[in-house]
Amino acid sequence: MSAREVLRLDSVTFRRNGREILHGVDLTVRAGEHWALLGPNGAGKTTILGFCAAQTHPTTGTVDVLGRRLGRVDTAELRKHIGHVNPRHRLQSDLTVTEVVLTGITGTIDLPMRWTPTDEDVARARRLIADSGMSSRADSSWHTLSQGERGRALIARALIGDADLLLLDEPTTGLDVAAREQLLETVDALAVTEPQVASVLVTHHLEELPESTTHAVVVAEGAIVARGTARTTVTSAVISRAFDHPIDVEYSGGRWGARAVRGGRTRQDPRTGPEGSIDQVRR
């Protein structure tokens, strides 16, 4: 029996200022799946993520998030069950790591006035901070944290509200290689600590994909190029087509890598052939 649907986009288009930005996007994400949303700059990734976050409504088509259809639901209430990890998270006041994580319960940037977390709330925050490898920094000021530490703390913040859907918007932006790997380890651990949570991670760097990535959707110029399981979708043929440049994609030890091809020819993938899977690649 298939896991329950967490996110569904059906024939979604989006227009802004008379220009169509997305063209007939279909996507279904189920509980426990971990999706990568890949594509070049300007491909439409941010717009798609806006639907996932219940922040943007489609021009045509339908979007269902956690079983609720956008346009027929209180989006403010729905967003309480969506964890959003944005490395550009900005605070108005200098909170501790624990306090920042607790704001995930209220869905606010700062702790609301006249709101006091329960002992159970604090205990859950501490557990999630520990799961993120941040126990030694639980009482540290937010402004003393590195960018990588902030990213890991924001994952704990996203999960404290019992989120069913976790959105990671280029979470490794600005990180050095060690901080990036620490954050990806935290993301990978979610498959064990939060097995029913589904996630969508946006990036255009294949080396930033966690080992736990199960599926991928690749977009270019507002349309889906390919979607499916990660291993059959993140291929040289698909990525080259999306980025309109010959890219050699490698997969080793659970991780992906990519580099431009000199001479303009990608290696044929023995699993998909020179053009990728017929079922996966949009003609």
Quote the strand ranges of the chain, DSSP E.
5-16, 19-30, 34-38, 60-65, 68-69, 82-85, 165-169, 198-203, 215-220, 223-229, 247-252, 255-260
Task: Decide if 102 is inside a domain.
Answer: yes
111 or 220: which leads in pLDDT = 220
Mean pLDDT, the chain, whole residue set: 88
Task: Decide if 276 is inside a domain.
Answer: no
User: Which bin fits 85, alpha (ψ -120 to 50), beta or left (φ > 0)?
Assistant: beta
The label of the residue with tokens 């932006």 reads 173
Q: Where residue 2 falls among pLDDT bands split at 50, 70, 90?
A: confident
Task: Decide if 150 is inside a domain.
Answer: yes
Task: Decide if 110 is inside a domain.
Answer: yes
Q: What is the mean pLDDT of the segment spanning 176-191?
A: 91
Decide: helix, strand or coil at residue 82: strand
How confident is the model at residue 264, as a pLDDT? 59
CATH number, domain of 79, equals 3.40.50.300
Task: Decide if 279 is inside a domain.
Answer: no
Task: Decide if 197 is inside a domain.
Answer: yes
User: Contact 29/35 with Cβ under 8 angstroms?
Assistant: yes
How confident is the model at residue 21, as a pLDDT? 93
Exposed, middle or buried: residue 16 (CB in 10 Å: 0-12, 13-18, 19+)? exposed
Task: Decide if 152 is inside a domain.
Answer: yes
Count of domains observed in the chain: 1
Task: Report the percentage of the chain scoring pLDDT > 90.
Answer: 62
* Domain range enclosing 252: 5-260
Looking at the predicted structure, is the pLDDT value of residue 273 above 50?
no
How confident is the model at residue 276, as a pLDDT? 42
Looking at the predicted structure, is the pLDDT value of residue 281 above 50?
no
pLDDT in tens, 37-67: 999 999 999 999 999 999 999 999 999 999 9
75 or 277: which leads in pLDDT = 75
Looking at the predicted structure, is the pLDDT value of residue 189 above 70?
yes
Task: Decide if 269 is inside a domain.
Answer: no
Task: Report the percentage of the chain scoring pLDDT > 70.
Answer: 92
